[in-house]
Amino acid sequence: MQGLLTVDGNILLFIQEYIRNPVLTPIMKAITHIGDHGLFWVLLTVALLIFPKTRKAGLCSFLALACSYLLNNLFLKNVVGRIRPYEVIKELELMVGMAKDASFPSGHSASSFASAVAIYRSGQIPKKYGIVLFVLAALIALSRLYVGIHYPTDVLVGIVSGIACGFVGAWLCRMIVEKVPPISKYL
């Protein structure tokens, strides 16, 4: 376990030393803030729920985000309780405000991938828009490393759990549509 923690920390220090630069930094800060509190994904979900043609995609995303919040923010973060990297690695410079919750897993990464996967799996949006959502989710996840607020394993587990929640959200949505006819007429 100690070896993994050392690798995690060394990756963050490598990013700080060799990848951070004055051109990329404001871009990565902006990207990381897009994922704050899952707000972008929540607003996208609400927008999709408004229009009948995309309502099913919105429901899939809502269910995936709920799954991600329950699994990652309420359960895993509290059970694991991992300390943020900037509190452990004294050489690491944090580029955004300090977080109040635990580090593991990355909620930004989880919610981003949960929503992107669920929307894509809904079958209601063109593939090209799904690809854009996946690229944005990946950029948000990578930005968490760039700004020094998460370890690589936090982000990796966030991505994996987010993908799983995206599949769960899409599956639950499909079950609701098939099993609850009064709801399905609105989707």
Does residue 93 carry a pLDDT above 70?
yes
Banded model confidence at residue 90, pLDDT cuts 50, 70, 90: very high
Mapped to the 3 state alphabet, what secondary structure does the chain carry? CHHHHHHHHHHHHHHHHHHCCCCHHHHHHHHHHHCHHHHHHHHHHHHHHHCHHHHHHHHHHHHHHHHHHHHHHHHHHHHHCCCCHHHHCCCCCCCCCCCCCCCCCCHHHHHHHHHHHHHHHCCCCCHHHHHHHHHHHHHHHHHHHHCCCCCHHHHHHHHHHHHHHHHHHHHHHHHHHHHCHHHHCCC
pTM of the model: 0.94
Q: What is the pLDDT of residues 108-151, one digit of tens each?
A: 999 999 999 999 999 999 999 999 999 999 999 999 999 999 99
End-to-end CA distance of the chain: 47
pLDDT score of 187: 66
Matching residue, tokens 């700004």: 147
Multiple choice CATH, 2-184, 1.10.8.350, 1.10.1050.10, 1.10.606.20, 1.10.10.10: 1.10.606.20
At residue 6, φ and ψ (nearest 5 deg) are -65, -45
pLDDT of residue 181 exceeding 80, the answer is no
Q: How confident is the model at residue 105 (pLDDT cuts 50, 70, 90)?
A: very high
Residues 35-87: pLDDT tens digits?
999 999 999 999 999 999 999 999 999 999 999 999 999 999 999 999 999 99
